[in-house]
Amino acid sequence: MTVSNGSMYATMYHSPHDTRAHIVSYQLGQIPNRYIMQKLPWLPWSQFVSLASHVKVSPYLKLGHGQAIGSTSHYLYVIANNHLLRKTPQSEELMQISKKNLQIKRIWTFKVWNHSVRTGRYFHSATFVNDHQFIAVYHDVTDHRFEYWEVTRRGNSWHPVEIGATKGEFMRNNSPVQGIAYDKKRKQIYLAFNDYLFKTNRAGKVLTSGHFHTGREFEGICVNDSYLYAELAQRLELLRQKIK
């Protein structure tokens, strides 16, 4: 999930195991109340047409697991990863998607490793700072740490630098990262797990954390215009909190 220029962009999968899906965009300012979109199939036709005119649906796209997505002024970016792969030297695909028609404009292939090509850093979660940079988190299960990588594009080449790391495990039950967000103004990173949220600095030092007890879980987070947005699963719900 990502929010940009007053619109929310969410990935919609038929099943949890799919790597291809649709991107659906909603113009948040055109939704009259917070519950109406749940009622689309039962609305009077005229009301449905009015609401649907502010919704876009992409073609069926290769999007990976959907937790490495971000947005800039004109584009969406998605790393179409395989979330079942762990320590692997395989390359990943990075998609640049036009906001106008939600179709792929460019595809890059990249691969990151640490010291040796055999120690690949295969990213499952990433957030995009601008059209030339993204920040990704890598969970090293062997050394029990989370690494933060800043990857910058120069021309058509992407150059990675490890900017920080957190020693130890955030979650004792090996819960995967469900989303990453970056606050450019404060230079802070947010990590979401099932129902936990952590804030770190760029070096990986944990600044604060939070937990909620609602039986729900995060499916994505992002930062936009000094607000932290969180998408909850089952059923889809969007939350917003002012960053202070």
User: How does pLDDT run across 139-196, given as a tens digit for each residue?
Assistant: 998 899 999 999 999 999 999 999 999 999 999 888 899 999 999 999 999 999 999 9
- pLDDT digits 0-9 by tens, 103-151: 999 999 999 998 887 788 999 999 999 999 999 999 998 899 999 999 9
Does the structure show a pLDDT above 80 at 234? Answer: no
Residue 222 has pLDDT above 90, yes or no: yes
- Domain residue limits, the chain: 67-242
| Burial class of residue 116 (count of CB atoms within 10 Å of its CB; 0-12, 13-18, 19+) | exposed
Q: Provide the terminal-to-terminal Cα distance of the chain, rounded to the nearest Å.
A: 22
pLDDT per residue as tens digits for the range 158-172: 999 999 999 999 998
pLDDT of residue 212: 86
The CATH fold assigned to 67-242 is Methylamine Dehydrogenase; Chain H (2.130.10)
DSSP state of 207: E
Whole-number percent of the chain with pLDDT over 90: 77
pLDDT of residue 64: 92
Is residue 125 within 8 A of residue 179, CB to CB? The reply is: yes
pTM: 0.94
Q: Which helix (H) or strand (E) holds 51?
A: helix 45-52
- To the nearest whole number, what is the mean pLDDT of the chain? 93
Q: Compute the distance between CA of residue 159 and CA of residue 5 in angstroms, rounded to an integer.
A: 28
Cα→Cα distances 118→112, 163, 179, Å:
10, 21, 26
